[in-house]
Amino acid sequence: MPTPVCTARQCLTDEATHALDEAVAVARRRSHAQTTSLHAVSALLALPSSTLREACTRARSSTYPPRLQFRALDLRVGVSLDRLPSSKALEEPPVANSLMAAIKRSQANQRRHPETFHLYQQMQQHNQLSLSCVKVELKQFILSILDDPIVSRVFGEAGFRSFDIKLAIVQPQSVSRFSRPRCPPLFLCNLTDSESNRRSFNFPFAGLAGFENGDANCRRIGEVLVKKKGKNPLLIGVCANDALSSFTESAQNGKRGILPTEIDGLSVICFEKEISEFLGKVGGEDMMGLKFKEVDAVSYVISQLSCLLEAHSGKLWLMGAAGSHETYVKFVARFPSIEKDWDLHLLPITSSQPSVGGLYSKPSLMRSFVPLGGFFPTPSELKNLLGSKNQSITRCDLCNEKYEKEASVVLKGGSIISVADQYSASLSSWLQMAEYDTSKRLDTMKCRPQMMELSQVPGVRSFPFSADGKGSSSKESSLDKSGCTTPNYFMPLNLQKISPPEQNIPIPMASEAENANFQPKLPVALKNQQREMESPWPTSYLMCSLSLPPDRTSSSSITSVTTDLGLGTLYASGEEPGKKFHDRLQHFSGSVSADLDEVSGNASNLITRSSCSGTELGGQMDPNDFKSLWRALAEKVGWQDEAIYTISQTVCRCRTGHGRRHGSNDKGNIWLSFLGPDKVGKKKIAVALAELIFSSRENLVSVDLSSEDGIFGRQDVSSYEVKFRGKTVVDYIAEELSKKPHLVMLLEHVDKANFPAQNSLSQAIRTGKFPDSHGREISINNTIFVTTSRVTKVDKNIPSGKENITFSEERILEAKGWQMQILIGCVGGNAIRTNGTNVVVMPMKATLNPLSANKRKLNNTTDSTEQGNTLEIPKRAHKASKSCLDLNLPADEMEEKNDYGNYDGDLASENSEAWLEDFFGQVDEKVIFKPFDFDALAKEVLKKISQSFQNTIGSEALLEIDPEVMVQILAAAWLSDGRRAIEDWVDQVLGTSFAEARKRYCLTGHSVVKLVACEDHIMEEQAPGVYLPARIILY
Amino acid sequence: MGYSLLDAFNVRDVGSGDKILVLAHGFGTDQSAWQRILPYLSPHYRVILYDLVCAGSVNPDYFDFSRYTTLDAYVDDLLYILDAKGVDRCAYVGHSFSAMIGILASIRRPELFTKLILIGASPRFINDRDYHGGFEQSEIESVFSAMEANYEAWVHGFAPLAVGADVPDAVREFSRTLFNMRPDISLFVSQTVFSSDLRGLLGLVRVPCCIIQTAKDVSVPQSVARYLENHLGGQNTVETLNTEGHLPHMSAPGLLVPKLLRALSRS
């Protein structure tokens, strides 16, 4: 309800009255129904020799030119005023509540102002001076108006901070915060100087109790208490108990500042002791121990508390503390509905005390950074001084009551019950209650939330002098005051929270100064949550799902026409060139694998690169050079014939000066990309290239752009770690390139290259200069870049052609360097069958018979108990070979994983894909590798092992090989140089172990020798030349 | 126009992408600590960077000694920034001190976070009865007095220790940002950090967390990573980086980035 202007005038000095009249005039001119703070601001700015404008000049941010900023301010004020609804013109638009409240606030401020405090206090005590007699000076008037959130928002939008302005008003001589130079690092001394000046002003009263000790925690507790829902805080955290007790203590001692004004003056009842006594009586046991055992007692207490809360909702608060989340979970498990019944709010407590180190005198020194934090004497101070005496008496009495009785006390009103419980959990809580009193001062306060009213009663009770009308009105204004100092105290944050015009604050409220001030962050937060609910967030997941299917069509749709060629070669299946070459190569090597006829035959009608280069070669190549290179490479990696052929061709072609087709400036650098499986093969070829072309394997630098763990775990990673310390991949590559120009740079998993690496590579392949992350360019003449990629699309076809691969490359890559051991078992018993699902069985005879008990898809018909060599051999349709190696499929067939695994981890894979296509489109040659035939290798190795086994132990016993061991052996064979190494190992290490086993145990025909891996046991000693244990443990 | 907290905290938006990623630096650094990581993330994410109020790059006047007494005030800042930026879902990468802040923020606003990646995180630095946090109370106090006595000397001693690995660039960089902090603020914040104890709260976290820990960290022992994994309430993974130091994003970005990207892609 607006106040008539004449009433308002009575509270003001002449100067201020003049300002008010101006404001009223502004309101009248604009035909507004009321005179608000904004009108006042507008008037104050317009006044000749305006204090406000002058203060603004000093407080303004130095980043903007002053004229502009003032113009912005004027505009802002004008716009805000325009937004107010106009009505029929009044002669004297009455003073709006917000402005009136500002006037009242300034009255209170002035009364407690250090310069006049004693004066007023004396007047009060002796003359019962009514507050309304205090005439507000213009300065105070302005200060209060600046507290109005609408006003501070207007200023904020014009680039002013209202507290800066306030400071400028209060301290005309002081320098503005903004223009103060940045502090030098070590400046504690000059800090104290400026400090002492200001402190004398800021802190007229001695200690600021409210700000110390547990303040932040208490503040948070207070915030919860004033919430509408979930207002009963349950503190959780190791320090929760400390925080609770410090809160109760300060509440009991009447440190008023710690409670939000809305509920200021609540009293506290703590019935921790009573509860433990009560429970202790029932259990007759140590209270800490019983907790949940005394079901009846505990639930009785709980239910009583729930009733109490229900009966007095709104007036009663319950608080508790739990040491850890686990405790709370136990508690909730015991009483599932407790959270709702008690309206609990979990409040994490992180530390018991604000970090007040004994050795450091932070608080007093540092106050200057809160220019207004202590600017107005806080209400808590005042109350402390005046009212601390008689509080303790009533409280103590209450505290000593027994819990059961307290319920009745609560009914009478005006007290808080608090139960606290120990770390050990269970019910610890605190009831708080205050009586609701409607009798007083509804007129000015009615817009306040109910809480506000609540707080007054106990307040009144605790002030001896405030029983009379004047006292209580002073009380009111002190509450007002604390209302505005609270947001100041959070200073920038809260103001900002309130000020953004983003529909967070309901507009009708905004017209009321107090309201806005007293709405804590809550409504804002709620709004936000709502918004979050509304806006559908799944969008963020879209990308993921898009990138998932590594589908040929989808990728081609992304690419442009120019990349189509690249696409063809890139995604053409590995078998394609193989087929073309098949005949040609037959006479080159006898070892062409039989896999070729399993080619899935998905014909791509794009021209394959192999035929292209084949025709191209004709005139350009130096045949001798090519042949020697080809032979040398084939010696190293015998199984990749076609790939080697292509590589040799390309290298020779490039080195004789016929480099990249597209390259305008051929600088002698060669770019190859090795696509497809066979990681080790690629690496070996890269090593061989370094040896053959640059004469030393030292000239190979290998970088794994994906940094996946390599075969046999750490081996790669550790070197990676040392290399990359403190560097990015790009910088590492650049550094190596600048060290040695003649070099093979092996970049593995180029498809996983991160963004900077992609950029650098693209630039390098185009310009012949490799840029590092600082933009320095390193020439890459004479460097051979070998990039490798598994390109999942190619992969996909391979398993489809060979569904029944026993040992996939992925499986081999996962091999670990375990220690191996030999176990002796007995045939016929269940031992074999329970030995796990993956058993490789070696029969005595040269032909391998499946004996294994594990019948998965294929072996259903096999009679596993029958021992011997007459078993039916299940045939695999795809196996042409007659020597039926039946290595059962590994339990966790990983086809799916293989296909998609690489993709899952890919971020924004469209981008990478597009880049990759582009990149591959520019390289000199794309070489498709075919999968390494591990099954054939396995067959060979098994043959060898079986030979060795028969030689040493004889054909009677049985050997079972753990698939893990098999994988390990295959991996080692793959890595080793030549087959010899593995054969040597079988002969020497394995053979010796067999012999020893035979010596130690009497092996009969019924014995089963098991070769298993000791998982989690890394091999101690490595056999020479091959990554297998030098010794096998015997049991 | 005008002043805003976003300016005060130097909030920056980098990169493109639908998903939002928040990078929050730890004690003694500022957002420049992420510069070696950033190029790898910005193509895929909209990355939000900001400076903690205690960072040297923030006007020290904003540091309110009566406000920043507990981590909660920093959480308020973070949530404010996210709200002001209109972020409704994001992944959060927090280092050390900011990891704590992230944990608390996710307790308060679980719907805001898809994933927390905690680098060098610890719920409590000081040893307790059956908890090994890595520091004794007495050690901490001597650190505090060393900081107070001669901040510069302390910085030069502490930086190489924290960085761990022999990476002069990172040490130089960390020393710079650490020294940029005003000594009193630096001391005050470290007191806040060391007096914090999040152990009881970890169970309240519902957001999946990825804890990235280096093999040797002067501030955070290995056991702490396991403790976090076991006690955080969501689905957690621990990634160990095969390097040393408390600041892998400065000293070993090459190692950290793949782990980071992998962890992020899982969210």
What confidence category does residue A832 fall into, taking pLDDT thresholds of 50, 70 and 90? very low
Q: Which residue of B has its CA nearest to A241?
A: B200
**Averaged over A448-465, what is the pLDDT?**
34
What confidence category does residue A471 fall into, taking pLDDT thresholds of 50, 70 and 90? very low
Are A69 and A22 within one domain?
A: yes
Residue (of B63, B189, B184) closest to A189 by Cα position: B184
Instruction: Tell me what pLDDT residue A603 has.
Output: 32
- Give the closest of B36, B69, B265 to A354, CB-based: B69
Across A745-773, b (16+ Cβ under 10 Å) vs e yields bbbbbbbbbbbbbbbbbbebbeebbbbbb
Across A282-291, b (16+ Cβ under 10 Å) vs e yields ebeeebeebb
Reading the block at residue A993, the tokens are 């172990």
CATH number at residue A745: 3.40.50.300
Are A114 and A230 within one domain?
A: no
Q: Which residues of B touch A732 (CB under 8 A)?
A: 254
Please indicate if any CB of chain A lies within 8 Å of the CB of B219: no
**Averaged over A919-928, what is the pLDDT?**
80
Instruction: Tell me what pLDDT residue A750 has.
Output: 80
Q: What is the mean pLDDT of chain B?
A: 88
Rounded to two decimals, the ipTM of the complex is 0.82
Instruction: Tell me what pLDDT residue A193 has.
Output: 32
Give the 3-state secondary structure of residue B43. Answer: coil
Instruction: Tell me what pLDDT residue A224 has.
Output: 78
d(CA A265, CA A257): 10
Radius of gyration for chain A, computed over Cα atoms and rounded to the nearest angstrom:
43
Are A158 and A241 within one domain?
A: no
| Res B49 pLDDT > 90 | yes
| Res B119 pLDDT > 90 | yes
Are A817 and A958 within one domain?
A: yes
Choose between A94 and A503: higher pLDDT: A94
Instruction: Tell me what pLDDT residue A126 has.
Output: 52
What confidence category does residue B118 fall into, taking pLDDT thresholds of 50, 70 and 90? very high
Q: Confirm whether A105 is domain-assigned.
A: yes
Q: Confirm whether A443 is domain-assigned.
A: no
Highest mean pLDDT among A174-178, A210-214, A861-865, B99-103: B99-103
Q: Confirm whether A682 is domain-assigned.
A: yes
Residues B64-80: pLDDT tens digits? 888 888 888 899 999 99
Are A157 and A220 within one domain?
A: no
Reading the block at residue A376, the tokens are 């107005």
CATH 3.40.50.1820 matches B5-265: yes
What confidence category does residue A804 fall into, taking pLDDT thresholds of 50, 70 and 90? low
d(CA A930, CA A568): 17
CB A819 within 8 A of CB A1014: yes
Q: How far is B148 from chain A (nearest CA, A)?
A: 8
| Res B6 pLDDT > 80 | yes
Residues A269-311: pLDDT tens digits? 777 777 777 766 554 444 444 444 555 677 777 788 788 877 7
- Percent of chain A past pLDDT 90, that is, above it, reads 0
User: Would the CB atoms of A492 and B144 count as touching at under 8 Å?
Assistant: no
Highest mean pLDDT among A160-174, A720-734, B84-98: B84-98
What confidence category does residue B50 fall into, taking pLDDT thresholds of 50, 70 and 90? very high
Q: Which residues contact A55 (CB under 8 A, 6 or more apart)?
A: A142, A165, A166, A168, A169
| Res A99 pLDDT > 60 | yes
CB A355 within 8 A of CB B191: yes
Q: Confirm whether A992 is domain-assigned.
A: yes
Q: How many CA atoms lie within 13 A of A531 on its CB side?
A: 16
Are A31 and A103 within one domain?
A: yes
- The count of residues in chain B is 267
Residues A365-386: pLDDT tens digits? 333 333 333 333 333 333 333 3
- Give the closest of B2, B148, B254 to A728, CB-based: B254
d(CA A753, CA A857): 40
Dihedral sign (CA B10, B16, B20, B23): negative
Which residue reads 């802002």 in tokens? A76
Q: How far is A350 from chain B (nearest CA, A)?
A: 5
- Give the closest of B44, B64, B112 to A370, CB-based: B64
User: Would the CB atoms of B17 and A908 count as touching at under 8 Å?
Assistant: yes
- Give the closest of B2, B148, B151 to A359, CB-based: B148
Instruction: Tell me what pLDDT residue A722 has.
Output: 56
Q: Confirm whether A774 is domain-assigned.
A: yes
Are A638 and A773 within one domain?
A: yes
Highest mean pLDDT among A397-411, A584-598, A926-940, B199-213: B199-213
CB A915 within 8 A of CB A758: yes
Q: How far is A235 from chain B (nearest CA, A)?
A: 10
Q: How far is B137 from chain A (nearest CA, A)?
A: 12
- Give the closest of A325, A353, A725 to B204, CB-based: A325
> What is the 3 state secondary structure string of A936-991?
HHHHHHHHHHHHHHHHHCCCCCEEEECHHHHHHHHHHHHHCCCCHHHHHHHHHHHH
What confidence category does residue A857 fall into, taking pLDDT thresholds of 50, 70 and 90? very low
Q: Confirm whether A475 is domain-assigned.
A: no
**Averaged over A146-175, what is the pLDDT?**
74
Residues A388-431: pLDDT tens digits? 333 333 333 333 333 334 433 333 333 333 333 333 333 333 33
User: Would the CB atoms of B194 and A489 count as touching at under 8 Å?
Assistant: no
Dihedral sign (CA B46, B52, B53, B57): negative
Choose between A947 and A484: higher pLDDT: A947
Q: Which residues of B touch A755 (CB under 8 A)?
A: 39-40, 42-44
Q: Confirm whether A888 is domain-assigned.
A: no
Please indicate if any CB of chain A lies within 8 Å of the CB of B137: no
- Give the closest of B88, B100, B192 to A537, CB-based: B88
Are A655 and A785 within one domain?
A: yes
* Helices (H), ranges, A335-468: 338-341, 362-366, 379-400, 403-412, 442-445, 450-462
Instruction: Tell me what pLDDT residue A317 has.
Output: 78
**Averaged over A27-37, what is the pLDDT?**
84
Are A770 and A680 within one domain?
A: yes
User: Would the CB atoms of A355 and B192 count as touching at under 8 Å?
Assistant: yes
* Measured torsion, CA atoms of residues A22, A26, A28, A33, in degrees rounded to the nearest 10: -110
Are A259 and A146 within one domain?
A: no
User: Would the CB atoms of B252 and A187 count as touching at under 8 Å?
Assistant: no
The string of DSSP codes covering A194-232 is HHHHHHHHH--SS--GGGSSSHHHHHHHHHHHT-SSS-E
Instruction: Tell me what pLDDT residue A922 has.
Output: 80
Q: How far is A726 from chain B (nearest CA, A)?
A: 4
What confidence category does residue A499 fall into, taking pLDDT thresholds of 50, 70 and 90? very low
User: Would the CB atoms of A725 and B251 count as touching at under 8 Å?
Assistant: yes
Count of beta carbons in the 10 Å neighbourhood of residue A139: 22
The angle subtended at Cα A982 by Cα A977 and Cα A988, nearest 5°, is 130
Q: How far is A976 from chain B (nearest CA, A)?
A: 27
Q: Which residues contact A152 (CB under 8 A, 6 or more apart)?
A: A146, A161, A162, A495, A499
Instruction: Tell me what pLDDT residue A72 has.
Output: 81
| Res A668 pLDDT > 50 | yes
d(CA A186, CA A171): 27
Q: Which residues contact B234 (CB under 8 A, 6 or more apart)?
A: B205, B206, B207, B208, B209
Instruction: Tell me what pLDDT residue A708 has.
Output: 47
**Averaged over A9-30, what is the pLDDT?**
85
CB A339 within 8 A of CB A445: no
What confidence category does residue A885 fall into, taking pLDDT thresholds of 50, 70 and 90? very low
User: Would the CB atoms of B265 and A906 count as touching at under 8 Å?
Assistant: yes
Q: What's the distance, CA A304 to chain centroid?
A: 42
Instruction: Tell me what pLDDT residue B57 has.
Output: 87
| Res A850 pLDDT > 50 | no
Instruction: Tell me what pLDDT residue A562 has.
Output: 30
User: Would the CB atoms of B258 and A706 count as touching at under 8 Å?
Assistant: yes
Q: How many CB pairs (< 8 A) connect A and B?
A: 252
Q: Which residue of A has its CA nearest to B189?
A: A355
**Averaged over B101-122, what is the pLDDT?**
92
Highest mean pLDDT among A463-472, A484-493, A745-754, B177-186: B177-186
Radius of gyration for chain B, computed over Cα atoms and rounded to the nearest angstrom:
17
**Averaged over A929-947, what is the pLDDT?**
80
User: Would the CB atoms of A157 and B204 count as touching at under 8 Å?
Assistant: no
User: Would the CB atoms of A707 and B198 count as touching at under 8 Å?
Assistant: no
User: Would the CB atoms of A182 and B80 count as touching at under 8 Å?
Assistant: no
Global pTM reads 0.45
CB B135 within 8 A of CB B191: no
User: Would the CB atoms of B254 and A500 count as touching at under 8 Å?
Assistant: no
Q: Which residue of A has its CA nearest to B151?
A: A186
Reading the block at residue A209, the tokens are 């109790």
**Averaged over A657-676, what is the pLDDT?**
65
d(CA A586, CA A354): 81
Are A1024 and A980 within one domain?
A: yes
Q: How far is B43 from chain A (nearest CA, A)?
A: 7
d(CA A567, CA B29): 46
Domain containing residue A976: 811-829+932-1034
Reading the block at residue B233, the tokens are 């309430």
In A901-945, which ranges are E strands?
925-928
What confidence category does residue A725 fall into, taking pLDDT thresholds of 50, 70 and 90? low
**Averaged over B239-260, what is the pLDDT?**
88
What confidence category does residue A315 fall into, taking pLDDT thresholds of 50, 70 and 90? confident
Element (H, E) at A1017: strand A1007-1018
Residue (of A736, A742, A737) closest to A719 by Cα position: A736
Instruction: Tell me what pLDDT residue B20 has.
Output: 93
Q: Which residue of B has its CA nearest to A210?
A: B66
Instruction: Tell me what pLDDT residue A589 has.
Output: 35
**Averaged over A940-965, what is the pLDDT?**
78
Q: How far is A164 from chain B (nearest CA, A)?
A: 12
Domain's final residue, options A302, A325, A353: A353
| Res B211 pLDDT > 50 | yes
Highest mean pLDDT among A90-104, A121-135, A551-565, A824-838: A90-104
CATH number at residue A26: 1.10.1780.10
d(CA A951, CA A990): 12
d(CA B81, CA B214): 29
Q: Which residues contact A187 (CB under 8 A, 6 or more apart)?
A: B182
Q: What is the mean pLDDT of chain A?
A: 60
Give the 3-state secondary structure of residue A874. Answer: coil
Q: Which residue of B has its CA nearest to A722?
A: B243
Are A631 and A704 within one domain?
A: yes
- Give the closest of A215, A322, A754 to B69, CB-based: A215
User: Would the CB atoms of B148 and A360 count as touching at under 8 Å?
Assistant: yes
Instruction: Tell me what pLDDT residue B134 has.
Output: 85
- Which residues 160-199 of B are in CB contact (within 8 Å) with A? 165-167, 169-170, 179-180, 182-184, 187-188, 191-192, 194-199
Instruction: Tell me what pLDDT residue A854 has.
Output: 37
Instruction: Tell me what pLDDT residue A1016 has.
Output: 66
Q: Which residues of A touch B114 (CB under 8 A)?
A: 540
Please indicate if any CB of chain A lies within 8 Å of the CB of B83: yes
Q: How many domains does chain A have?
A: 4
Q: Confirm whether A799 is domain-assigned.
A: no
User: Would the CB atoms of A348 and B108 count as touching at under 8 Å?
Assistant: yes
Instruction: Tell me what pLDDT residue A899 has.
Output: 37
What order do you get walking across the sheet with A700-704 strand by strand?
A700-704, A743-748, A783-789, A670-675, A925-928
| Res B114 pLDDT > 90 | yes
User: Would the CB atoms of B112 and A531 count as touching at under 8 Å?
Assistant: no
Instruction: Tell me what pLDDT residue A171 has.
Output: 67
**Averaged over A735-756, what is the pLDDT?**
80
Please indicate if any CB of chain A lies within 8 Å of the CB of B100: yes
In A643-691, which ranges are E strands?
670-675
Residues of B marked active site are found at 96, 217, 246
d(CA A254, CA B246): 45
Instruction: Tell me what pLDDT residue A264 has.
Output: 63
- Give the closest of A353, A755, A756 to B195, CB-based: A353
d(CA A204, CA A194): 16
